[in-house]
Amino acid sequence: MGDTLLDVRDISLRFGGLRALSDVGFTVDKGELFSIIGPNGAGKTSLLNCISGRYSPQEGAIRFEGRDITRLKPNRRAAAGIGRTFQNLALFSHMSVLDNIMVGRHHLLKNNLFTGALYWIGGAQKEELEHRRKVEDVIDFLDIQHVRKATAGTLSYGLRKRVELARAVALEPKLILLDEPMAGMNLEEKEDMARYIVDLNEEWGMTIIMIEHDMGVVMDISHRVMVLDFGRKIAEGLPETILANPHVKKAYLGEEDEALVDPDAAPQALTA
């Protein structure tokens, strides 16, 4: 780590008179597992939406691999190597697991309508077989071989979350954004998902930004943690530093603190 992959520079996001994010800035290095925590309504998902291109901040800039992507469309960001999962499942429920994951490789397809029409002689068949091999690798990695032909909408919640992760991984992203990947899971499912996330980071070399409410998981697997409250960054640093931060404790416990209730107060940034 040490080579900056993502640089978020003082972004602010407003919806009419509602300020969702205020001057939020941070960097994420290549190979890092970076977690974002905070109370409900703190602006965590809005921040991921700004990074993935779903929202456009009114102020600030977002740079990915040194390139300004602040106004880049979501599909262009996916092509650049940014993948994501959603807090609410966004699978095609009528399609098979295999087809849902294949959708994640859409931007990697080189054949177009005309060359694809010449399926046998234009290279489309060979390309499809190669993509299917890549998808099978993802299926094996996430242990969903037994449901690969099942209709996604018929699966249990935990398996659907795993399929959504598989689709994001199939994109072969350099940076993957995980929005509450363990929400609604039981203990065993959470342990499995945490293991997959760590393996994606350590074995597959993916840089990860994760939103998660399970503090035990966050503190166990994260390299660094950032805390948002009311759209502002109030802390950033190593997991053990964040745990000891009184501002973070008060944000979660709901106790009054000037730095949190004063909109003009400067956020406290802890560095490792």
Residue-wise pLDDT tens digits, 104-153: 776 655 554 444 444 445 455 666 777 788 899 999 999 999 999 999 99
pLDDT score of 88: 74
The 82-84 sheet, strands edge to edge: 82-84, 175-179, 207-211, 33-37, 224-229, 232-237
Residues paired with 83 in a beta bridge: 176
Q: Are 63 and 69 in contact (CB under 8 A)?
A: yes
Residues 6+ apart with CB under 8 A from 170: 101, 102, 104, 105, 134, 135, 138
Q: What is the pLDDT of residues 184-206, one digit of tens each?
A: 899 999 999 999 999 999 999 99
Q: Which residue from 182, 242, 228, 195 is spatially nearest to 45, judged by alpha carbons?
A: 228
Which residue's entry shows tokens 């996916």? 78
| Distance between CA atoms of residues 128 and 85, nearest Å | 24
Q: What is the pLDDT of residues 6-43, one digit of tens each?
A: 999 999 999 998 999 999 999 999 999 999 999 988 99
Q: What is the DSSP code (8-state) at residue 267?
A: P
Exposure string for 6-44, b = 16+ CB within 10 A, e = fewer: bbbbebbbeeeeebbbbebbbebebbbbbbbbbeeebbb
265 pLDDT more than 50:
no
Q: Where are the domains of the chain?
A: 1-81+173-272, 93-168
Residues 6+ apart with CB under 8 A from 73: 53
Indicate whether this model's pTM tops 0.85.
Answer: no
60 pLDDT more than 80:
yes
| Distance between CA atoms of residues 43 and 50, nearest Å | 11
CATH topology of domain 1-81+173-272: Rossmann fold (3.40.50)
Residue type for position 193: M
